[in-house]
Structure 1
């Protein structure tokens, strides 16, 4: 359940910001510079939060499936890709703040890794009915 909660928070937040909140701010008539400022602040905050949630998911995956699942399982590989995207976004934001395309690329990698991760079963759950244990 912790896996699904963390996943819902970061994947939902990443997509909600750019599909819901920012376009809505444009529709209500906020100035484009103000929207860009809000976008810059919320994106960094959300990517940092996503990194914390992804780290939690990594710990859940390791506890449920073992350390080797981090490299061999698609869920582990997607989580590592998401962590790398978070690190790349924050690194570019700090050291090259004018490289907005790299920030957007990192954000999109994070978002699409999250979408593919949502389609995977949670650790310890095979996707079918659970067998009753005696």
Structure 2
């Protein structure tokens, strides 16, 4: 072993980069749409029905994108920690919750069931799970 080697095992840099990039896109997108874009559209004077129409068309796209990105993050987590890490790790549990919530919301949008408040509830819980996921270290960067 050389004296210039910092550690024996290097973390998978592609996995860490994929984790951080997908997390930035889907968590940032959920929070940006709900708490910045839609209130700003209402504040600049657009009609409330137009804002609801914009939200109704953008939210399902963003939820589907969040489901895809969180599934990709789950694959990165399985690659680093193994399949048991998906169930035992907090990050894996949060990602599974996001995938289930996104799937249920997309099923509701497809007409499988109707609920007055489920779309808003699942969207906000997905955003909170994403926020809790941001506070966790990326796989391979644990101390």
Q: TM-score, normalised by structure 2?
A: 0.85
Alignment: residue pair count: 127
- Kindly report which structure 2 residues correspond to 1:96-115, keeping only aligned pairs within 5 A, or say none: 99-115=115-131
Find out whether 1:86 has 2:102 as its counterpart. Answer: yes
Please say which of residues 51-60 and 87-96 is displaced more in the overlay. Answer: 87-96
Residue 54 of structure 1 aligns with which residue? 70
Equivalent residue for 1:44, pick from 54, 57, 60: 60
Question: Could you tell me how far apart the structure 2 residues matched to 1:98 and 1:117 are?
Answer: 29
Question: Could you tell me how far apart the structure 2 residues matched to 1:97 and 1:4 are?
Answer: 34
Residue 132 of structure 1 aligns with which residue? none
Report 1 or 2 for greater relative contact order, CA contacts < 8 Å, sequence distance ≥ 6.
2
Following TM superposition, by how much is the alpha carbon of 1:126 offset from its aligned partner in structure 2, in angstroms? Answer: 1.4
Please say which of residues 94-103 and 81-90 is displaced more in the overlay. Answer: 94-103
Greater Rg by CA: 2
Find out whether 1:71 has 2:84 as its counterpart. Answer: no
Question: Could you tell me how far apart the structure 1 residues matched to 2:62 and 2:91 are?
Answer: 21
Residue 116 of structure 1 aligns with which residue? 132
Q: TM-score, normalised by structure 1?
A: 0.91
Question: Could you tell me how far apart the structure 2 residues matched to 1:26 and 1:116 are?
Answer: 28
Following TM superposition, by how much is the alpha carbon of 1:97 offset from its aligned partner in structure 2, in angstroms? Answer: 7.5
Find out whether 1:11 has 2:27 as its counterpart. Answer: yes
Runs of 4+ with >6 A deviation: none
Residue 130 of structure 1 aligns with which residue? none
